Every structure is written in C-alpha cells, then in structure tokens.
Amino acid sequence: MSALNGKRKEYLTVKDLQKVLDSCKLNLNQIDEVLPNIYIGNVAVAQNKAALQKLDDSTHFDLDVYFQPAADFIHKALKTPDGKVLVHCIMGMSRSSTLVLAYLMIYRHLPLKQALKKLIQKRAIYPNRNFLALLLDLDLQLTRKKKTCQIL
C-alpha cells in the first residue's frame, strides 16, 4: 500500500475555525488596514468624511491612462437604447467620480470646473489631489486641442 493510503485526511470544522478566531488578542477598532490598501471598518467610518479621506486613493496611481477608455465605454453604453452605466469604486467618491468627470470633459466638452459643479449637484464626490491634478492636465490638453481645431 502507498503511504498516502495510510494517512487520514483531516477536515477543518467550524469549531476549529472558532478556536483560531478566539486566539485573536487584538481590540476591535472602527477601522483597520488588514492587508496593504485593504481596510475593514464599521459603518461609522463609512459615514465619516475625514476618516475616508485618510484612506483615499494613492497619490501615485496613474488613473489618466483609463480616462479615454472609460469615457469611450460610457459614451458607447449611453448610445444604446435604454443605456445606463454604473461607474463604481470602493467608496464611490474618488476613482469613479474622476472617470465620470473625464467623460464629461471628453464627450460633453465641459471644462473641469463646470464638470465638477455638475456632479456635486447630484453626489458628494472627493477625487484625491493626484486625480484632480490629472484632470487639470486633461482639461489643459482638451483646451489646447479645441484652440488648435478652431485655428485650422
């Protein structure tokens, strides 16, 4: 007989898992970073703007590479009969709103400030400083492009 046949396979039980959980000696906090950039928190944190802003997106993430593809996707979806689009991110405040702002700028030809004003009439959004800087760059590019097209 093989050595594998002689070994009994053990399965975990709920009780085994509860023992592991019971071994935790940490205090329960409102929020904890459980893995890099992954947080577990309670509803109080989810409703606290200051706490959320501390967890805001990386100041180094290059979201601008997604501006055009996201804008194209939104535009195409809205052109279909009864087209609707859900643009979402973890908090629904920074990445998703930044992509919607890019869409408004690219396809609706709104300047950034006007696009911001339009969105904040409907939702509290908080793109991080990096994303705002990327949107400012897009705004400048679109303004230059518009002026070039008018000259030609």
Could you say which of 46, 89, 136, 140 is catalytic? 89
Active site residue 24: no
Which among 93, 102, 95 has a CA at the least distance from the CA of 135? Answer: 102
Residue 134 CB coordination number (10 Å): 21
Helix axes 95-107, 129-151, angle to 10 degrees: 10
> What SS3 state is found at 34?
strand
Active site residues: 89
